[in-house]
Structure 1
């Protein structure tokens, strides 16, 4: 029987997840498909989850704006999803919905790949933003032993996130001590990169464009930059294993994704 999975979000046409999972499906020779779903609203997303409960789908990756709703609709929730307050992966099994979150795994995988010398244990790390993406980053980095500070334009939101995840609220002066700065905003952050340490690592969770203005400015300073595509692929690996029951085969999905982005081979 064909295994049916996919990704749900709005908008979703830009998503590279079908390309990545499709390449792994083909390489593994699986009888499986992975589709895009673009629910118009929360009601349509709930209907999509109901289809999963009914056995029509094996699972869904979930992106904005449905990650919080995905968590709320689940019957069982992984500890990391609970900590993040959001789910990016739903698995359907005999009428039950299991929620998980692989974003943190993806973030740590991206750092290991593109900044292998970085060790965040007992180091100051600053996460820019206080939304769902920031929650995933803070949870993962805290679990890795970092001292995480949250810097956000609205201090009250930073305080709420920090209280939930046992982080601290950062201020611009904190940037000067950070071994890592992660942009979890959907827009370029308004910070002065000149204050960063010369050995600081800078990461942007956005992958369109691949080299964001934030990463370009970091590169101009000679800082190590980590892109959002590495995180996307990093979070897709455990998702694929959960959805299809095998580890992703050795296929250069980054090459395919770069081609799709019109960037050629990095």
Structure 2
């Protein structure tokens, strides 16, 4: 009979969130637990009805495919999450269920040193148009990036930009970036180029991601939010080409830290991130 939080999704067995939150609970000596809960779309109503009545429940993280569906089960939604149109953290607050999105916070965390520098122009090529992509595009737009959205079709990519209220931007079909291009990039000095994979392509058990690196500007930072495997083919090729890479554990840990504070009322002990990463890849 101890306070607990959990992560819900379908499937859910792959989630590393219990390991992350459990590690932090142990480090801080907090009496609490963090679990997985396999919840199908048809069972969301019953799940939240049961948790509302449980005084030990401190909230949940939400993973695929429920980040948009859970909006209907929140009594209050943080304005940023409402703009994004996706929620990944739900907590009981003052008798209501409050919905937040910590994906953008976690995504930006490893980019902060770069974002502190001035740039003449910032452009982000974002592969995918799902719930995580919405949070990432919204966060990057707030940091002055011109987004290029690559979705299944150019029409879907444009609808994605419009739904987020992002003026400008560029929309294209992902398949266009699978074939080589002879485009000659200009001088990139003073520019910040980011390539982000938000799709499951390249994940263990999923089809490969087809991206020809002739579309990647020189000096780009390549960021893959997939963390299984940690070294995706996209990151391996980027590293071989001498580009800076950021793996999926960076965002996973960063967004979890923001949620942990809401669940358990304490800051995650980030000084132990190196030891946590070792556990996550073991």
Taking structure 1 as the reference length, what is the TM-score of the superposition?
0.89
8 Å Cα contact 2:132/2:198 also seen in 1:
yes
Describe the superposition over 1:218-240 as per-residue Cα deviations: whole angstroms up to 9, x where unpaired.
Answer: 11111000100010001011100
Q: Which residue of 1 aligns with 2:74?
A: 74
1:187 maps onto 2:207 in alignment: no
Describe the superposition over 1:42-77 as per-residue Cα deviations: whole angstroms up to 9, x where unpaired.
Answer: 232222212222134110001001111211211111
Q: Which residue of 2 aligns with 1:7?
A: 7
8 Å Cα contact 1:125/1:149 also seen in 2:
yes
Distance 1:243 1:185 in 2: 28
Distance 1:153 1:67 in 2: 20
Distance 1:38 1:79 in 2: 28
Q: Which residue of 1 aligns with 2:62?
A: 62
Taking structure 2 as the reference length, what is the TM-score of the superposition?
0.84
Distance 1:250 1:169 in 2: 36
1:212 maps onto 2:217 in alignment: no
Distance 1:125 1:199 in 2: 13
- Greater Cα offset, 166-175 or 96-105: 166-175
Distance 1:197 1:109 in 2: 22
Distance 1:9 1:150 in 2: 26
* Unmatched runs of 5 consecutive residues or more in structure 2: 203-208
Distance 1:90 1:135 in 2: 18
RMSD: 2.4
Greater C-alpha Rg: 2
In the TM superposition, 1:121-140 aligns within 5 A as: 122-140=121-139
Distance 1:121 1:33 in 2: 47
Q: Which residue of 1 aligns with 2:250?
A: 230
Distance 1:25 1:190 in 2: 40
Distance 1:224 1:91, change over 3 A: same
1:197 maps onto 2:211 in alignment: no
Distance 2:60 2:153 in 1: 32
- Greater Cα offset, 242-251 or 115-124: 115-124
8 Å Cα contact 2:150/2:157 also seen in 1:
yes
In the TM superposition, 1:104-143 aligns within 5 A as: 104-112=104-112, 122-143=121-142
- Greater Cα offset, 1-10 or 218-227: 1-10
Q: Which residue of 1 aligns with 2:170?
A: 169
Name the SS for the 1:191 alignment partner.
coil
The counterpart of 2:268, out of the listed 239, 248, 255, is 248
Shift of 1:121: 7.8
